Amino acid sequence: MKIILLGAPGVGKGTQAKLLSKKYHIPHLSTGEILRDFVANSRSRLAHDTKETIDQGRLVGDDLIIQIIQDRIQQDDCKQGFILDGFPRTLVQAKMLDELIYKQHRDVILVINIDVSMEDIVKRISGRFSCRKCGKVYNHYLLPPTIQGICNECGSTDFIKREDDNEEVIRNRVAVYKEYTAPVLEYYRTKANFYNIDGRGDVNQIADKINLQVLRHQNIKEAAKEM
Ligand code: AP5
Ligand code: MG
């Protein structure tokens, strides 16, 4: 099963992708996380420039991102499927992905857009922090750890905030989303494999809505095979 999670910054793509990955045993491919790992572990000029781009809330070039995704989805763990989070973000990326999925995988990708109001997005991003050790994501206002200051997953007390989660950069990220990624949403909206999810409510409620669409998509695919 191949799934794209679309949505503006902070709608909960990463949170939902992790749940889907656990449930369906397929990898979660977040281009944001891949780029942050690259920046943290490389001293190259490209890593330096990429960090600058992310810190300003701009988009990294299509060529680099497409290369990353092309290489990643050809790896063995993606044979049964994958969840894309943060990709595609431009029309060029979306069209390239279409080609790759049809040509190499002969498959249809399920596209789920998570829709959340701007007010909730600001709350979700400004309150976000995560465990430095295991990466578990929390929110000061909405999803704090069960015991304050201690990670639910690994017990660590060391937390970090993303450098692009400050007010000015959030504004840029939302503007970039409206200019470059909203057209991607329109590109998919008219296709049969597109579903819009109301992203209000708690994490489990949204996960249930997404799972319903995943099951529906699987049933449609099974029925098509039998015809
Ligand atoms: P990326 O890391 O993809 O950032 P983003 O799209 O801005 O999305 P976020 O990660 O901020 O939000 P999310 O939707 O994952 O929300 P989350 O689950 O964390 O990209 C970062 C940068 O990398 C880009 O700006 C760009 O520079 C570059 N980049 C990446 N991909 C690229 C591409 N394809 N092309 C070019 N450049 C690229 O949730 C947010 C918060 O809300 C958390 O605190 C969470 O706990 C909380 N929360 C989640 N769900 C709920 C809920 N239902 N109720 C209450 N709280 C919730
Ligand atoms: Mg994310």
Coil, helix or strand at residue 207: helix
* pLDDT in the model for residue 222: 84
Q: Provide φ and ψ at 28, rounded to 5°.
A: -95, 115
- Which ligand has an atom closest to residue 173 CA? 1
Is 200 considered catalytic here? no
Residue 13 annotated among the catalytic residues of the structure: yes
* pTM, full prediction: 0.96
Q: Which atom, in ligand 1's list, is nearest to the CA of 35?
A: 23
What span, in angstroms and rounded, lies between the C-alpha atoms of 12 and 16? 6
Residue that has been written with the tokens 């049809």 in this structure:
102
Distance CA 51, CA 54 (A): 5
Residue 100 CA to ligand 1 centre (angstroms): 24
Q: Does the active-site annotation cover 128? A: yes
pLDDT at 106: 74
Cis, peptide link before residue 27, omega less than 30° from 0: no
pLDDT for residue 34 is more than 90: yes
